[in-house]
Amino acid sequence: MPSRRVVVEGALALALCVVVAATLQWHTGAPLDADTAYHVAVGRLIRAHGILHEFPWTPFSWLAKHYADKELAFHLALAGVAGLPWVDAARVVGTLWGAGLLLVFFFILRAERVRFPAAWAILPLASASVFLFRFVLVRPHVASIGFAAVILWACVRRRLGVVAVASALYPWFYVGWTLALAMAIVAEIARMSVRERPEWKPLAAVVAGLTIGIALHPNAANLLRFTWIQSVDVLVRRAWGRDALLELGDEFRAFSPAEWATLLLGASVAAVAAAVLAWRSRDATTRAFCLAALCFGALTIRTARFAEYFVPLSVVALALGSRFVAWRWFPLATAGVLVACAAPATAQFVEDSGQATELLTPDVGARLAGAIPPGAQVFTCEWGHTGTMMLALPERRFIVALDPTFFYLNDPDLYRTWFELPRDPPPHPSEAIRQRFGARFVLCRYDQRFRRFFNRLALDPGTRPISVDAGWEAYDLGE
């Protein structure tokens, strides 16, 4: 049985983590990206239809017939609060996921007898604005960071039960569950670096846990294929290969040197300091977290999204290394340096996030819902805002959601037609939209790149603009 002191410390840490996560969520005026709207929409679909095995709301995507919910636990949580306004539902789940991540850091650091574990656990939020941004996003990657940290620590410490349970849960929370294998390998490398004997049991526990978790997943067969597509086709071939036909979002691009200096200076300082302490300490746990942080830092050079792992793992590694520093003021001095490095960008982010507004307001959504009937096929100009449209127009069908790669793999020729239509429109685009996509309605977020497309649509005979605000363009192509 845990002692009373442990229970009290855990309760206080839980309260602190919830307060910090909730404050950040409720400070944000509205979710900061359209992906959050997509996830809330999927939660509502689960609430209405049960566990999904197909996704007919995007009929041109590979996922229409081969659906795999790679973030099922996240969507089930959103289904549980589907009765709330969508922004509040996102805030509730964002608080749960964020508090859970901070609590993971706390318990790892407390188990390693690091001084001030609660302070170290929340320090990553003030160490890099890019991590703060990714933390506030109500998206399932937040849980993935926690699972990676738990599995890494448990592998080093030979907590095989923890390894197995965390690995079994991982595929239900995030598509990046293959990181569990990488963390087990990193743990063994760290252990060998301090001349400990390598062991096969932690890796075996990871494999056993993943096997059980995938086998129990309701979309098990499609999940394996989905993970391969997401990891190889999306990241390596399309994002790193710079495929011009696939616009995957800013999170897949690399940071420029100026952005690195502005956004990741504090995390870089933490990583370098942790590396020095890890080398001197000859402690396997410190070295494991430091090695993992450096690996993610190297990946961040190619893809910005890995900063969400690089920043917190660097700070946790530094916290673990602080145990071997005799100077009592080291934690406070470290926190001061990291916060000072990130302060300008962090302050700007906090100000901007508080002013965020919904992309599609309820009154605009109501006008669109009155003009576009349920079951209608809607032509969209890009994929990034489909989630927003799905929330405003439930039970309508759209071109593609989640990722354009799945449309491209399903029908490359039709994907090329869809991609080029709004960017290089023919004289009468409504004819192509009707014939190739069977769509009567067009709904797009206004973008200067699509100006000629909108102009030609407005001039097509029989086409009627649907009245919306300046940020959106909508058209009824007629019977």
pLDDT computed for residue 418 by the predictor: 92
pLDDT computed for residue 232 by the predictor: 64
pLDDT computed for residue 9 by the predictor: 81
CA separation for the pair 212, 215 (Å, rounded):
5
pTM, two decimal places: 0.91
CA separation for the pair 100, 93 (Å, rounded):
11
Instruction: Give the number of other CB atoms < 10 A from CB of residue 376.
Output: 16
CA separation for the pair 34, 360 (Å, rounded):
10
What are the mean pLDDT values of the chain's consecutive 10-residue runs (479 residues total)? Answer: 74 92 93 89 94 91 87 95 93 96 96 92 92 92 95 95 96 91 95 87 95 93 81 55 55 72 85 90 92 91 84 95 87 87 88 87 88 93 88 90 79 90 90 91 91 90 82 88
Cα dihedral value 273, 274, 277, 278, nearest 10:
-150
The two structure tokens encoding residue 414:
């039709």
Give phi and psi for 443, each to the nearest 5.
-140, 120
pLDDT computed for residue 263 by the predictor: 83
Instruction: Give the number of other CB atoms < 10 A from CB of residue 432.
Output: 16
* Count of helix runs (H) and strand runs (E) in the chain: 22, 4
The two structure tokens encoding residue 317:
């590694």
Strand 472-476 with 441-445, pairing: antiparallel
User: Looking at 145-290, which runs of residues are DSSP E strands?
Assistant: none
In 3D space, the residue among 18, 108, 96 whose CA is nearest the CA of residue 315 turns out to be 108
Give phi and psi for 101, each to the nearest 5.
-65, -45
What does the domain layout of the chain look like in residue ranges? 4-30+68-354, 362-476
Distances from the Cα of 385 to the Cαs of 54, 251, 417, in angstroms? 21, 15, 19
CA separation for the pair 37, 3 (Å, rounded):
43
The two structure tokens encoding residue 172:
């239900």
CA separation for the pair 160, 155 (Å, rounded):
7
pLDDT computed for residue 239 by the predictor: 47
pLDDT computed for residue 2 by the predictor: 64
Instruction: Give the number of other CB atoms < 10 A from CB of residue 207.
Output: 15
CA separation for the pair 225, 176 (Å, rounded):
13
CB 194, CB 287: distance < 8 Å: yes
CA separation for the pair 35, 40 (Å, rounded):
9
pLDDT computed for residue 241 by the predictor: 46
pLDDT computed for residue 10 by the predictor: 79
CA separation for the pair 123, 341 (Å, rounded):
13
- The answer to whether the Cα torsion of 98, 101, 102, 103 is positive or negative is positive
